[in-house]
Structure 1
Amino acid sequence: MTKEEIIEITNGFLSEEFEVDIDTLRPEAILKDTLGLDSLDYVDLVVTVQSHFGVKLGEADFVGISTFEDFYRLIERKIAQ
């Protein structure tokens, strides 16, 4: 799976799941602020990523994840493992 495919799929489900305009999901945007994430939303995010990509994310995976670009790279790394 290419990075572009990961971004397209990720933006699609994030826009739908968190009811935000897909145009606000830019690589440099802050993930937490743009999606308005609270602790329960992170659980939804983990479940949604697993259902779309078949990879599991844990709390430790989110350390250092700030922007959407960071998040895309995380998914890319997990898929490659």
Structure 2
Amino acid sequence: MERKKIIATVNDFLVNEFEVDSDEISNEANFKKTLGLDSLDYIDLVVVIESNFGVKLGEADFKNIVTFDDFYSKIEHKIAEKNA
């Protein structure tokens, strides 16, 4: 899956399912601060990622995510691993 499609899909479900203001989503924006998710929200996010991309992110995957660009890259990497 190409990166543009990943970004569009992620941004779409963040806006529609997590009620994030689309103006606050940018590659450089702080992922955790912008989303303000609690632990249950992270579980929902993992489920949405799995249903949209067929990959699962674990707790360790979120530790190194600082920006939205990091998040997109992590999903892209997981998809590549799955398809390898």
Q: Bin the TM-score by the shorter chain.
A: over 0.9
Quote how far apart the aligned CAs of 1:38 are. 1.1
1:8 aligned residue: 8
The CA distance in 1 between the partners of 2:46 and 2:32, in whole Å, is 14
Flag as ranges the 4+ runs of structure 1 deviating above 4 A. Answer: none
Note the residue ranges of structure 1 that are not aligned, 5 or more in a row.
Answer: none
1:49 aligned residue: 49
The CA distance in 2 between the partners of 1:57 and 1:70, in whole Å, is 13
Say whether 1:20 aligns with 2:29: no
> What RMSD, in angstroms, separates the aligned Cα atoms of the two structures?
0.8
TM-score normalised by structure 2 residue count: 0.91
Quote how far apart the aligned CAs of 1:61 are. 0.9
TM-score normalised by structure 1 residue count: 0.94
1:68 aligned residue: 68
Quote how far apart the aligned CAs of 1:5 are. 0.7
Q: Which amino acid aligns with 1:24?
A: E
The CA distance in 2 between the partners of 1:75 and 1:13, in whole Å, is 14
Taking only the aligned residue pairs, the percentage that are identical comes to: 62
Quote how far apart the aligned CAs of 1:23 are. 2.2
Quote how far apart the aligned CAs of 1:55 are. 0.3
Q: Deviations over 1:29-77 (max 9, x none)?
A: 1111111111111101100100100101111111211110000000000
Q: Deviations over 1:9-35 (max 9, x none)?
A: 000001111112222110111111111
The CA distance in 2 between the partners of 1:27 and 1:65, in whole Å, is 12
